[in-house]
Amino acid sequence: MLHGERFAHATRTSLQPIPYLPSPETVGDAYPFRLTTGRHLYQFNAGTMTQRSATAELRSRDLLDIAPADAAALGLDDGEEVTVVSRHGSTGLRIRITGAMRPGELFTTFHDPALFVNRLTSPVRDRAVQAPEYKLTAVRIVRERNPEPS
């Protein structure tokens, strides 16, 4: 804390531990991957909700980042269209194979409103601040289009 910085009630505050509660979103045989959603540098302030900004062309679509080992195990090629299915919904995404991902983990952005990526995510919310649990969703990848969540 900077000297003299003020909180709402004083210049000092205390931190309180919060007991860990595991997420109900778990990976397993039916949903073997952990999906994280987020933003990408080239999609910030790019008019992605309206698609009316020239900067949206820097990265014009949401992609599903996957580790090379996982793509190989599933027989997936870079750029291939797949369906990502969670317990809550499904959406189609194009694969991007990248060494930036760890095996078992996937990442996608949620900038294209037509894809409804947030329909994949859990309705679970943090019990303290009620933030949605966008960073942890168990999913599977399938090649056929529009499979139903199970």
Pairing of strands 63-66, 105-109: antiparallel
Q: Which of 74-78, 117-121, 135-139 has the highest mean pLDDT?
A: 74-78
Q: Which residue has the higher pLDDT, 111 or 137?
A: 137
Number of domains in the chain: 1
Q: Cα–Cα distances in Å, from 144 out to 32, 90, 125, 141, 148? A: 17, 12, 31, 9, 11
At 73-96, the pLDDT tens digits run 999 999 999 999 999 999 999 999
Task: Tell me, yes or no, whether 136 lies in a domain.
Answer: yes
Task: Tell me, yes or no, whether 70 lies in a domain.
Answer: yes
At 23-71, the pLDDT tens digits run 888 999 999 999 998 876 655 555 555 556 665 555 557 899 999 999 9
Task: Tell me, yes or no, whether 4 lies in a domain.
Answer: no
Task: Tell me, yes or no, whether 91 lies in a domain.
Answer: yes
CATH (domain of 67)? 2.40.40.20
Least confident of 39-43, 109-113, 124-128, 134-138: 39-43
Residues forming beta bridges with residue 82, ordered by sequence position: 93
Residues forming beta bridges with residue 141, ordered by sequence position: 84
DSSP annotation of 132 = B
> What percent of the chain stands above pLDDT 90?
42
Average pLDDT, the chain: 81
Calculate mean pLDDT across residues 118-142: 83
Task: Tell me, yes or no, whether 66 lies in a domain.
Answer: yes
> What percent of the chain stands above pLDDT 70?
74
Amino acid at the residue 101: M
Range of the domain at 131: 33-142
Calculate mean pLDDT across residues 103-123: 84
Q: For position 1, what pLDDT does the model report?
A: 45
Task: Tell me, yes or no, whether 26 lies in a domain.
Answer: no
Task: Tell me, yes or no, whether 2 lies in a domain.
Answer: no
Structure tokens at 68: 């090379």
